[in-house]
Amino acid sequence: MPTLSDLGQLPKRLVLGRAVRSDRLGESLLPKRYALPIFASDPLSSVAYATQEILIVLTLAGTAFLYLAPWLAAGVVLLLITVVLSYRQVVHAYPSGGGDYEVAMKNHGQFAGLVVASALLTDYVLTVAVSVSAGTDNIISAFPGLNQHRVLIAVVLVSLLAAANLRGVRESGKAFAAPTYLFITGIGVLIVTGLIRWFFTDGGLVAETAQYTVTPEPAYEQLGGLALLFFALRAFASGCTALTGVEAIANGVPAFRPPKSRNAAATLVLMGGIAATMFAGVTALALLSDVKYVEHPCDLQGFADCETEPQRTVIAQLAAATFGGDTSVGFFYIQAATALVLVLAANTAFNGFPLLGSVLAQDSFMPRQLHTRGDKLVFSNGILLLAGFAILLIVAFDADVTRLIQLYIIGVFTSFSIGQWGMVRHWNREMRATQDPVERRRMRRSQIINTLGGTLTTVVLVIIVITKFTHGAWLVIVAMPILFGLMRAINKHYSHVSAQLVPDSDARTLPSKVHAVVLVSKVHKPTLRALAFARATRPDELTALTVNVDDAETRALQAAWERFDIPVPLTVLESPYREITRPVIDFVKSIRRNSPRELVVVFVPQYVVGHWWENLLHNQSALRLRARLQFQPGVMITTVPWQLESSIGLDGGERGGPAPGDLRRGLADDTIDGTPYG
């Protein structure tokens, strides 16, 4: 029959399933077919909003500059290919899973390493918020009536993702593989079908917004020279959201099956090829079908319900145009697959954030709890921390992708840039250590790739900071130094604690004697048990101590003490202000003051209760005393539990030994390890 303890674990078991033994960690390693959807769902799914973000910026000036879109998309694809090739070098050189953090720490030092860590941690949180919000947008595009529940839907989706990841990497991989592959297949069919319709049908490919015109923003009506360049760079920066999540594979190498580096590198190439093809195809279809997508829906002249109805996403418009309207099977398939993969794209962060947090915790830059694996061999604390911060952002920004996207990609391009220049240093050091011409040529080739990657990502980072700063990116630029300072403070604390705990000669010196103090409130079973335990330790001196807060009660206690003929004198402390804690603390201090090498052991009787509300009725004085005594040097606190009937059996095991009171009633052997109890 299940006990109350088992029932208390039931919700946890329903979410997580059975706990997994530590020696089964190897069984959770991923083959490439699961690693792709787990680590690459973010960059793969970005095709659902990267093109859209380019169009949002370009349509600020109406339709006059939409001709720039193909060139900007080509720049994004070129950058994506360069970054993928660069990270192949990282995967082979640093397979331990530290990614850009490890590269920066080993090649630039602690300062750069922590800058990368703060950038990545910030970006992982934003990845969850943006991906889930974008997925919610696509759900609303299929069912506009859900628009008023946008935030609630996004919060529920983040919670479900966290629960799935808490069940374990392999189990979440199986759950996430199908939607990712369905999305890839759906987008592939969408692109091919759309191009066929454009080239071979009379009606061509026409989006539902093709008939609308766009009202340009007042400041963007006429652009030229540097203003036009800045405008184009801002649109390019928005399109670079297609690169988010590329680094997750480099951070997740330990989760791959052997040979880890080769499998991770192959997954990187596969991810890069698929993402580039899908992004280019979606952008081409959007331009061919004349999709319009604006920041403010009422800027679309002809959109009658702009105040109440949400815009359909670019993907939704393409699906409707390609498959014959918003009631076709193809439309709902694309919307369902896109919404699922966008939500699951957050899984990239749910794998990257806990792994990076674990590495940082191991290096003493984050709380040690982030390095602890949970029941399913995953870093549960990191998963919960990420989910909490992502939900906070979603609520604060109303799950609005346009507002959240302004905070995006600064962190990831910061880590890209520092990591790539760190790899350049790495290859310089490696080439100095070898004279083999074949190896040197290979290293030189890798260094050239990383130099190109570092140059391009640095230029893009500058563009992003300049173009997005006033649009909300300043929040991330402020948050990163705060996180940096927090990690430095945590490391300083751990270092200070470690220095204090180094063994010295004083730590091995035995105390001159042991003075046991048993706290007494009444002559009852818990007091007698505490006194028996104290006597069993055979201290040099034993004091039974009570505090006089009520004269009548104290006299009754003394009378009972004599009546039971307890072989330890009762010491009474006066307390004119009816306080218990301070007189006991002063008494203990006086012992230590008179004999600094003397060890004081304070025995505190405590009830063990079975219901939370019973704790409110018992043990309050004991809790306060223990809280104060733990700050006293040379003092040990020993809690002596007494199980009340409501707590019997709550540990889920058999009753081991006599029940409460059996010893006093003569129903069991009245010794404790051979020592008389009373």
Domain ranges of the chain: 32-176+215-266+345-494, 511-676
- What's the confidence (pLDDT) of residue 507? 58
Q: Which residue has the higher pLDDT, 261 or 408?
A: 261
Task: Say if residue 670's pLDDT is above 50.
Answer: no
- What's the confidence (pLDDT) of residue 658? 52
- What's the confidence (pLDDT) of residue 227? 82
Range from 26-40, 61-75, 444-458 carrying the lowest mean pLDDT: 26-40
Please compute the mean of the pLDDT values over residues 438-459 and round it to a whole number. 91
Task: Say if residue 6's pLDDT is above 70.
Answer: no
Q: Which residue has the higher pLDDT, 171 or 678?
A: 171
CA proximity to 164, closest of 17, 35, 18, 337: 17
Q: Which residue has the higher pLDDT, 674 or 273?
A: 273
Task: Say if residue 318's pLDDT is above 90.
Answer: yes
CA–CA separation, 199 and 196 (whole Å):
5
CA–CA separation, 677 and 531 (whole Å):
8
CA proximity to 325, closest of 207, 417, 238: 207
Task: Say if residue 184's pLDDT is above 90.
Answer: yes
List the beta bridge partners of residue 635.
Answer: 600
With a CB cutoff of 8 Å and minimum separation 6, the contacts of 172 are 38, 164, 165, 347, 350
Mean pLDDT score of the chain = 82
Give per-residue burial for 534-556: e unless 16+ CB within 10 Å, then b: bbeeebeebbbbbbbbeeeebee
CB atoms within 10 A of CB 373: 15
Please compute the mean of the pLDDT values over residues 455-459 and round it to a whole number. 91
- Hey, what CATH class is 511-676 in? alpha beta
At 494 the three-state DSSP class reads helix
State percent of the chain over pLDDT 70.
87
CB atoms within 10 A of CB 428: 12
> pLDDT band at residue 651, thresholds of 50, 70 and 90?
low
DSSP one-letter string for 140-187 = HHH-GGGGGGHHHHHHHHHHHHHHHHHT-HHHHHHHHHHHHHHHHHHH
In three-state form (DSSP H/G/I as H, E/B as E, the rest C), the secondary structure along 275-334 is HHHHHHHHHHHHHHCCCCCCCCHHHEECCCCCCCCCCCCHHHHHHHHHHCCCCCHHHHHH
581-621-537 Cα angle (round to 5) = 85
- What's the confidence (pLDDT) of residue 145? 82
> pLDDT band at residue 646, thresholds of 50, 70 and 90?
confident
Range from 147-151, 405-409, 474-478 carrying the lowest mean pLDDT: 405-409
CA–CA separation, 620 and 75 (whole Å):
67
CB atoms within 10 A of CB 19: 12
pLDDT tens figures, 229-238: 888 888 888 8
pLDDT tens figures, 238-259: 888 888 778 778 877 887 888 8
What is the residue type of 190? L
CB atoms within 10 A of CB 615: 13
Range from 16-25, 408-417, 569-578 carrying the lowest mean pLDDT: 16-25
- What's the confidence (pLDDT) of residue 667? 43
> In terms of CATH architecture, what is 32-176+215-266+345-494?
Up-down Bundle (1.20)
Task: Say if residue 28's pLDDT is above 80.
Answer: no
Please compute the mean of the pLDDT values over residues 429-436 and round it to a whole number. 88
Task: Say if residue 453's pLDDT is above 80.
Answer: yes
Cβ(208)–Cβ(291) below 8 Å: no
> pLDDT band at residue 450, thresholds of 50, 70 and 90?
very high
Range from 309-323, 526-540, 640-654 carrying the lowest mean pLDDT: 640-654
Highest mean pLDDT among 49-63, 221-235, 542-556: 542-556
Please compute the mean of the pLDDT values over residues 603-628 and round it to a whole number. 77
CA–CA separation, 239 and 241 (whole Å):
5
> pLDDT band at residue 385, thresholds of 50, 70 and 90?
very high
CB atoms within 10 A of CB 472: 16
Task: Say if residue 677's pLDDT is above 50.
Answer: no
pLDDT tens figures, 186-226: 999 999 999 998 988 776 788 888 888 888 877 776 777 78
Range from 61-65, 273-277, 537-541 carrying the lowest mean pLDDT: 61-65
CA–CA separation, 400 and 130 (whole Å):
8
The token duo for 669 is: 């052997």
Highest mean pLDDT among 279-293, 297-311, 390-404: 279-293
- What's the confidence (pLDDT) of residue 648? 67
CA proximity to 375, closest of 590, 166, 206: 166
Highest mean pLDDT among 207-216, 356-365, 530-539, 611-620: 530-539
> pLDDT band at residue 678, thresholds of 50, 70 and 90?
very low
Sign of the torsion angle spanned by Cα atoms 214, 136, 356, 174: negative
Task: Say if residue 112's pLDDT is above 60.
Answer: yes
Q: Which residue has the higher pLDDT, 667 or 200?
A: 200
Task: Say if residue 579's pLDDT is above 90.
Answer: no
- What's the confidence (pLDDT) of residue 9? 46
Task: Say if residue 500's pLDDT is above 90.
Answer: no
CA proximity to 516, closest of 596, 678, 636, 597: 636
CA–CA separation, 467 and 527 (whole Å):
72
Range from 9-13, 342-346, 358-362, 670-674 carrying the lowest mean pLDDT: 670-674
Question: Which residue carries 């191009």 as its tokens?
Answer: 195
Please compute the mean of the pLDDT values over residues 330-353 and round it to a whole number. 84
CA–CA separation, 646 and 607 (whole Å):
11
Task: Say if residue 23's pLDDT is above 60.
Answer: no
- What's the confidence (pLDDT) of residue 21? 45
Task: Say if residue 624's pLDDT is above 50.
Answer: yes
